[in-house]
Structure 1
Amino acid sequence: MFEFLQRKAAIKQPVVDINSQSQATDEKHCRCSLLAKNDIVKTYDESVETCLDALYHGSKVTEGGDCIGYNDHFMGKYIWLSYNEVIWKAKYFGSGLVNIGCKPGNETFIAIYAINSVQWFIAQYGCYHYSMVVVPLYDTLGVNSCSFIVNEAKIECVIVDTQEKLHKLLNQRDEMPTLAKVICIDHDISDNIVKRANNKNVALFNFKQIEQMGKSSLQMIEPPKPSNLAMIMYTSGTTGVPKGVMLTHANFIAAASGLLLQVIPHISMKNQTLLSFLPMAHSYEQSVQTAFILGGGRIGFYSGDLKELTSDMKILKPTVLIVVPRILNKIYNKVIGEVIEGYGQTECCGPATASFPGDYSMGHVGPPLACCQVKLIDVPEMNCYADENGMGEVCIKGENVFIGYYKNSEKTSEVLDEDGWLHTGDIGMWTNGEYIAPEKIENIYCQSAYVAQCFVEGDSLK
Structure 2
Amino acid sequence: MGVQAAYALQSVLLFPIHLLIWLYSILSFLPWYYITGAGQKKALSKRIKARSTSGNAEGPYRSVDHFDSLAREDFPGKDTLDKLFEHAVQRFGQARCLGTRDVLSEETEIQPTGKLFKRLILGEYKWLSYNEVDTLVNQFGSGLAALGQQPKSTIAIFCETRAEWMITAQACFRRNFPLVTFYATLGEEAIAFGLNETGVTHLVTSVELLETKLKNVLPQIPKLKHVIYVDTKKISAEGYPAGLSIHSMQAVQELGMLPENMRKPIVKPQPSDLAMVMYTSGSTGRPKGVMIIHSNLIAGMSGQCERIPGLGPNDIYIAYLPLAHVLEMTAEISCITYGCRIGYSSPQTLSDQSSKIKKGSKGDCSVLRPTLMAAVPEIMDRINKNVMSKVQEMGFIQKTLFTLGYKYKLEQIKRGFDAPLCNALLFQKVKKLLGGRIRMMLSGGAPLSSATQRFMNVCFCCPVGQGYGLTETCGAGTITEVADISTGRVGAPLICCEIRLRDWVEGGYTSKDQPNPRGEILIGGPNITVGYYRNENNDQDFFVDHNGQRWFCTGDVGEIYPDGCLQIVDRKKDLVKLQAGEYVSLGKVESALKNCSLVDNICAYANSDQNYVISFVVPNQKRLTQLAKQRGIVGTWEDICTHPEMEREVLKEITIVAANIKLQRFEIPLKVHLSPEPWTPETGLVTDAFKLKRKELKNHYLDHIERMYGGK
Shorter-chain TM-score category?
A: 0.7 to 0.9
CA shift digits 1:189-214 (9 cap, x unpaired): 333xx1333x5220110010001111
Q: How does 1:365-376 map to 2 (within 5 A)?
A: 365-376=490-501
Distance apart, 1:303 and its partner CA = 4.7
Q: How does 1:342-353 map to 2 (within 5 A)?
A: 342-353=467-478
CA contact (8 A) 2:157 2:203 kept: yes
Coordinate RMSD, CA, aligned: 2.9
Q: Which amino acid aligns with 1:233?
A: M
**What CA distance in whole angstroms lies between the structure 1 residues aligned with 2:311 and 2:213?**
44
CA shift digits 1:151-179 (9 cap, x unpaired): 10001111111145246433222211111
In the superposition, the TM-score normalised over structure 2's length comes to: 0.58
The change in CA–CA distance for 1:243 and 1:45 in structure 2 (over 3 A counts) is same
The question of 1:24 aligning with 2:67 is answered no
CA contact (8 A) 1:383 1:461 kept: no
**What CA distance in whole angstroms lies between the structure 2 residues aligned with 1:35 and 1:43?**
15
Q: Which residue is equivalent to 1:435?
A: 567
Distance apart, 1:288 and its partner CA = 1.2
**What CA distance in whole angstroms lies between the structure 1 residues aligned with 2:330 and 2:134?**
19
| Equivalent of 1:201 in 243, 246, 265 | 243
Q: Which amino acid aligns with 2:222?
A: P
Q: Which residue is equivalent to 1:50?
A: 80
Q: How does 1:376-455 map to 2 (within 5 A)?
A: 376-389=501-514, 390-408=517-535, 410-419=536-545, 420-431=550-561, 432=563, 433-437=565-569
The question of 1:135 aligning with 2:180 is answered yes
CA contact (8 A) 1:23 1:33 kept: yes
Q: Which residue is equivalent to 1:289?
A: 332
The change in CA–CA distance for 1:11 and 1:94 in structure 2 (over 3 A counts) is farther
CA contact (8 A) 1:373 1:397 kept: yes
The change in CA–CA distance for 1:99 and 1:445 in structure 2 (over 3 A counts) is closer
Question: Which structure carries more helix by proportion?
Answer: 2
Q: How does 1:307-318 map to 2 (within 5 A)?
A: 307-308=355-356, 311-318=363-370
CA contact (8 A) 2:182 2:280 kept: no
The question of 1:159 aligning with 2:204 is answered yes
CA shift digits 1:37-83 (9 cap, x unpaired): 83200001103111111212222332431111112343731111111
The change in CA–CA distance for 1:445 and 1:129 in structure 2 (over 3 A counts) is closer
The question of 1:246 aligning with 2:295 is answered no
Distance apart, 1:331 and its partner CA = 2.3
Distance apart, 1:443 and its partner CA = 8.3
Q: Which residue is equivalent to 1:3?
A: none
Q: Which residue is equivalent to 2:194?
A: 149
**What CA distance in whole angstroms lies between the structure 2 residues aligned with 1:77 and 1:241?**
42
Distance apart, 1:299 and its partner CA = 1.2
**What CA distance in whole angstroms lies between the structure 2 residues aligned with 1:461 and 1:254?**
40
The question of 1:258 aligning with 2:303 is answered yes
**What CA distance in whole angstroms lies between the structure 1 residues aligned with 2:46 and 2:157?**
40
Distance apart, 1:325 and its partner CA = 0.5
The change in CA–CA distance for 1:11 and 1:424 in structure 2 (over 3 A counts) is farther
Q: Which amino acid aligns with 2:568?
A: I
Q: Which residue is equivalent to 1:116?
A: 161
Q: Which amino acid aligns with 1:183?
A: I
Q: How does 1:25-104 map to 2 (within 5 A)?
A: 25-26=53-54, 28=56, 29-36=59-66, 38-74=68-104, 76-103=123-150
CA contact (8 A) 1:391 1:428 kept: yes
The change in CA–CA distance for 1:268 and 1:146 in structure 2 (over 3 A counts) is closer
**What CA distance in whole angstroms lies between the structure 1 residues aligned with 2:609 and 2:193?**
37
CA contact (8 A) 1:110 1:133 kept: yes
**What CA distance in whole angstroms lies between the structure 2 residues aligned with 1:205 and 1:443?**
41
**What CA distance in whole angstroms lies between the structure 1 residues aligned with 2:217 and 2:609?**
42
The question of 1:210 aligning with 2:337 is answered no
Q: Which amino acid aligns with 1:252?
A: L
Q: How does 1:170-209 map to 2 (within 5 A)?
A: 170-191=215-236, 194-197=237-240, 199-209=241-251
CA contact (8 A) 2:465 2:479 kept: yes
- 1:195 is paired with a residue of what secondary structure? coil
Q: Higher RCO, 1 or 2 (CA under 8 Å, sep at least 6)? A: 1
Q: Which residue is equivalent to 2:646?
A: none
Distance apart, 1:317 and its partner CA = 0.9
The change in CA–CA distance for 1:113 and 1:23 in structure 2 (over 3 A counts) is same
**What CA distance in whole angstroms lies between the structure 2 residues aligned with 1:119 and 1:35?**
37
**What CA distance in whole angstroms lies between the structure 1 residues aligned with 2:533 and 2:140?**
26
The change in CA–CA distance for 1:385 and 1:303 in structure 2 (over 3 A counts) is closer
The change in CA–CA distance for 1:102 and 1:27 in structure 2 (over 3 A counts) is farther
Q: Which residue is equivalent to 1:449?
A: none
Count of residue pairs the alignment pairs up: 440
Q: Which residue is equivalent to 2:270?
A: 225
Distance apart, 1:428 and its partner CA = 0.3
**What CA distance in whole angstroms lies between the structure 1 residues aligned with 2:478 and 2:566?**
11
Distance apart, 1:239 and its partner CA = 2.7
Q: Compare 248-257 and 55-64 and name the one that shifted more.
A: 55-64
Q: Compare 59-68 and 227-236 and name the one that shifted more.
A: 59-68
| Equivalent of 1:237 in 259, 267, 282 | 282
The question of 1:327 aligning with 2:383 is answered no
The change in CA–CA distance for 1:152 and 1:23 in structure 2 (over 3 A counts) is same
Q: Which residue is equivalent to 2:42?
A: 14
The change in CA–CA distance for 1:421 and 1:379 in structure 2 (over 3 A counts) is same
Larger Rg: 2
The change in CA–CA distance for 1:385 and 1:291 in structure 2 (over 3 A counts) is same
CA contact (8 A) 2:315 2:370 kept: yes
Q: Which residue is equivalent to 1:6?
A: none
Distance apart, 1:311 and its partner CA = 0.7
Structure 2: segments with no counterpart, 5+ residues: 1-34, 105-121, 350-354, 388-429, 432-459, 571-577, 580-605, 612-669, 673-693, 701-712
- 1:234 is paired with a residue of what secondary structure? strand
Q: Compare 14-23 and 311-320 and name the one that shifted more.
A: 14-23
CA shift digits 1:367-402 (9 cap, x unpaired): 011000111011111111112341100000011111
Q: Which amino acid aligns with 2:134?
A: I
Distance apart, 1:87 and its partner CA = 1.1
Distance apart, 1:272 and its partner CA = 1.0
Q: Which amino acid aligns with 2:87?
A: H
The change in CA–CA distance for 1:72 and 1:87 in structure 2 (over 3 A counts) is same
- 1:328 is paired with a residue of what secondary structure? helix
CA contact (8 A) 2:44 2:484 kept: no
**What CA distance in whole angstroms lies between the structure 1 residues aligned with 2:160 and 2:534?**
27
CA shift digits 1:212-259 (9 cap, x unpaired): 111113132222111111110111133331111001111111111111
**What CA distance in whole angstroms lies between the structure 2 residues aligned with 1:186 and 1:73?**
13
**What CA distance in whole angstroms lies between the structure 2 residues aligned with 1:148 and 1:119?**
24
CA contact (8 A) 1:154 1:178 kept: yes
